[in-house]
Each structure stands twice: as structure tokens, then as C-alpha cells.
A = this chain, B = another copy of it.
Amino acid sequence: MFEKNKSEQLLRQYGLKVTSNRLLVLDVLMSSRTALSHGEIQKKIQGSRLDKVTLYRTLDTFVKHDIAHKVASEDRNWLYALHPIDENDSVRNDHAHFICDYCERIYCLPVETRNTVPLPESEEGFVIRTHEYRLHGVCPQCH
């Protein structure tokens, strides 16, 4: 038996049917350093006839099955990215988002962010379950 490619393995591993659309979108996400919007992904796969609705649904499927996650961009669009891998090759659900002030790209940075910002005494009744740390500044591309 031949070894299946990585994207195909990943889909089967998550119990998803292997379709050319999903493989295509997965490849795009895997080869991007930044989180991508629906529109950006469409541009990267122009030529293939993948409908925009199917792309929305494919991305939702990835998020629902926790293959990918989505981040709200500053212009209120969703950006999609696979989970970042840390130095031990393990997935980090807990990480920071870096938003460039110039190109507005969003990077997922595998940074430990837990237990860093305690609530002040005065703010009672708020129970924290998860968090997102968003950093703004200048990215390596824009120096």
C-alpha cells in the first residue's frame, strides 16, 4: 500500500470524507503563515471551480471538527488558520494572535498565555474560561 498524503490522512483521522475541495482548502491553509479570509482563500484557488458557499461550509466544518480555528479580523471578517505547532511539535490551542498595523495580517504565535492577567478584586462575578491575547504591532514583512 502506498502512503496517503498528509492532508488526506488528516481528514480521515477526523472522520471527514475526503473530497478534492477539502484537500485543496487544507493545502492552502497549511502553506500559509497567516490566518486567511474567505476572500483570500478564494484568490489562492482561482481556477478550481469551488463555489463560495462550499468554501464557507468547508471552513465551518474544519472549525467544528477542530482542525482549524477562526479569528475575527479588525475589519470584522473571519480569518481561518490551522492550529499552530509549538517547539515540541504539539498543537497549541492556547496561543496569541499578532495583528500587523500595516498589512493587517494576523499571525498565530505559539505563545503560552495562561494565567497571565488576573481580574482585579473589584470585578466580581466574572468566571473566566478561555481567553484570546491579541498583540498589535509590526510584522517581519513590514519592517
Contacts and interface: CB of A to CB of B under 8 A. Distances in A.
Given A110-B120, A117-B116, A123-B109, A129 B140 contact: no
Contacts of A134: 131-134
A107 interface: yes
Instruction: State how many copies of this chain the complex holds.
Output: 2
Contact of A87 (B73, B74, B122): B122
A133 B131 contact: yes
A76 B78 CA distance: 8
A138 B125 CA distance: 8
A101 interface: yes
Interface string A99-112: 00100000101111
Given A125-B143, A134-B131, A136-B131, A111 B120 contact: yes
A126 B130 contact: no
B72 A76 contact: yes
A139 interface: yes
Contacts of A77: 76
A136 B129 contact: yes
A137 interface: yes
18 contacts: A72-B73, A76-B76, A87-B122, A109-B119, A109-B123, A109-B126, A111-B117, A111-B120, A111-B123, A112-B120, A117-B135, A125-B140, A126-B135, A126-B139, A126-B140, A128-B135, A128-B137, A130-B135
